[in-house]
Structure 1
Amino acid sequence: MPDALAQAFSTPGLAWVALAALVAGTVRGFAGFGTAMVFLPVAGQVLSPLAALVALVVMDAAGPVPNLPRAWRDGQPADIARLMLGMTLALPFGLMLLALLDPTQFRIIVSVIALTLVTCLVLGLRYRGRLRPPMVYGIGGVSGILGGVAGIPGPPVILFYMASPLPAAAIRANTMMFLFLFDLVFLSMLGVRGSLNLDMVLLGVTLMAPVVLGNVVGAAIFRPERERAYRIAAYVIITASALSGLPFWH
């Protein structure tokens, strides 16, 4: 354990990774999403794909906890349950694809997914119909594939919910609850597969403090009446992080 902890603290670029965790937690706190899309393009520059994902999931499992009671009150548990079932069934296939990627391919996929999501949201390219239960299961399935291969299960859920007539607080709550539960399922599956490494887990533990702090700060500054300003801020931060992960700068 001491050797693994020392290894975690000696990770090259740890300061930048910790700063990315702080910013990612802040975005998650006021927008309800964005942790992976801010954190992974930066972390993927110094960590292996699996190490980056494990660190993300471990640190993120604690980050939203202070905000979960409010999210449970504001959200829709029935829809979250449907999303979780679809995600859980599809996640193993995403993890199979992850094993085939090298670090550069991983960073490119993460950055492209993040930039695509921001582009769709800015241009208003969203589903406009009614979200029926079978469709919600399907959204969860697509999220499971993306979550396994790139650690970003949020885009399908965000795109569909942004098109719904739900108020900003409910959308934020649903995405926050879903992403928190995804983290728990993701870690459980890696543990069953024997893919969890103690160094990776301890690195995630060291990043819990900045991501929890960011979540608290983000939640404290969140005001539903300023929804548009928060979305714009989240889009700008996600875009900057995604661009930093592309290979043009390395």
Structure 2
Amino acid sequence: MDLLAGFTAWQIAVAIAAALGASFVRGLTGFGMAILLVPVLALALPPVAAVVMGNCLSLLIGLTELPRLVRESERSAWTISALVVLATPFGLLALAATGADVARLVIALIACSAFVAILLPRRKEGVPGRLMTGAVGIISGLMTGYAGMPGPPVVPYYAGRNLPRVTIKASMLLIFTFAAAAGLVAAGWMGLLRGELALFALFLLPVILIGNRMGMAVSGRISDPVWRTAVGLVLGAAAGGALLRLL
């Protein structure tokens, strides 16, 4: 336990509980880990450390599933991932240039728009046009740098279409893995990636693997309408939380 010597028992307990719950939602819906994990971690850790920890955990679990994600994802996920990597530094610059109140407003607006988008009728299986795909990638990258949450633009893009659930989840998780890597590279460039945070994330890896496996088991037993309802509820909770923080 020497590797956790810099953290209190309270911080460790909160991190374990948050990691287990957020990873369960990830396994169930294919997203939501950063949306749920980072705000809870921020109750026990400094906000910047919470974002870095969230990116560490998202990258670690994504790497354990990478062959499956590559095999099952839609080709558009690669285009969006590339744009996320390119846009993430600009999100960090935007965060540095704006105040906390503006940041909360932007996050709340995007979270609410994602919730509204998921309620719209499902579109066809075909890949949306280049303009929409490019916009999703750029906005997701900006959100990665701005708030450590790439999901709000990506989830409606996939879950709002008439695609197989396995394709939706794999495509989203592949993008989130690249987003986490981009966020960590940016954090390292800014001197925010500390060794003890990376070690703490490694300590929590078994916890998120267990939670993720439990969520996947539940996901495999529920119908598609129930799964899509769960996706909407998670997005709705994220939007509600963002609005509460804004108020």
Could you tell me the TM-score, scaled by structure 1's length? 0.81
Tell me, in whole angstroms, the C-alpha distance in 1 between the residues paired with 2:68 and 2:128.
24
Alpha-carbon distance, 1:110 to partner:
5.3
Tell me, in whole angstroms, the C-alpha distance in 1 between the residues paired with 2:229 and 2:53.
27
1:148 equivalent to 2:145? Answer yes
Alpha-carbon distance, 1:152 to partner:
0.9
1:174 equivalent to 2:171? Answer yes
Which secondary structure state, in structure 2, belongs to the residue aligned with residue 61 of structure 1? helix
Contact 2:115 2:232 in 1 (8 A): yes
Change (3 A) 1:175 1:193: same
Change (3 A) 1:134 1:115: closer
**Which residue does 2:72 correspond to in 1?**
74
Q: CA RMSD in A?
A: 3.2
Give the % identical residues.
Answer: 29
Q: Which moved more, 1:223-232 or 1:156-165?
A: 223-232
Alpha-carbon distance, 1:229 to partner:
1.7
Change (3 A) 1:29 1:90: same
**Which residue does 1:124 correspond to in 2?**
120
- The structure 2 residue matched to 1:23, chosen from 12, 21, 24, is 21
Tell me, in whole angstroms, the C-alpha distance in 1 between the residues paired with 2:216 and 2:20.
13
Map Cα deviations across residues 38-71 of structure 1 (whole Å, 9 max, x no partner): 1122222332221111100111222244443333
Counterpart AA for 2:137: G
Change (3 A) 1:102 1:168: same
Change (3 A) 1:115 1:100: same
**Which residue does 2:208 correspond to in 1?**
211
**Which residue does 1:63 correspond to in 2?**
61
- The structure 2 residue matched to 1:160, chosen from 149, 157, 168, is 157
Tell me, in whole angstroms, the C-alpha distance in 1 between the residues paired with 2:50 and 2:113.
21
| Alignment: residue pair count | 245
Map Cα deviations across residues 75-95 of structure 1 (whole Å, 9 max, x no partner): 12x312211221122111111
- The structure 1 residue matched to 2:217, chosen from 217, 220, 226, is 220
Contact 1:30 1:222 in 2 (8 A): yes
Change (3 A) 1:94 1:176: same
Q: Which moved more, 1:98-107 or 1:230-239?
A: 98-107
Consecutive unaligned residues in structure 1, runs of 5 or more: none
Tell me, in whole angstroms, the C-alpha distance in 2 between the residues paired with 1:190 and 1:107.
20
Consecutive unaligned residues in structure 2, runs of 5 or more: none
Could you tell me the TM-score, scaled by structure 2's length? 0.81
Alpha-carbon distance, 1:131 to partner:
1.1
Which secondary structure state, in structure 1, belongs to the residue aligned with residue 48 of structure 2? helix
**Which residue does 1:45 correspond to in 2?**
43
Alpha-carbon distance, 1:114 to partner:
4.0
Tell me, in whole angstroms, the C-alpha distance in 1 between the residues paired with 2:42 and 2:97.
16
Which secondary structure state, in structure 1, belongs to the residue aligned with residue 35 of structure 2? helix
1:138 equivalent to 2:139? Answer no
Alpha-carbon distance, 1:106 to partner:
6.5
Contact 2:26 2:32 in 1 (8 A): yes
**Which residue does 1:189 correspond to in 2?**
186
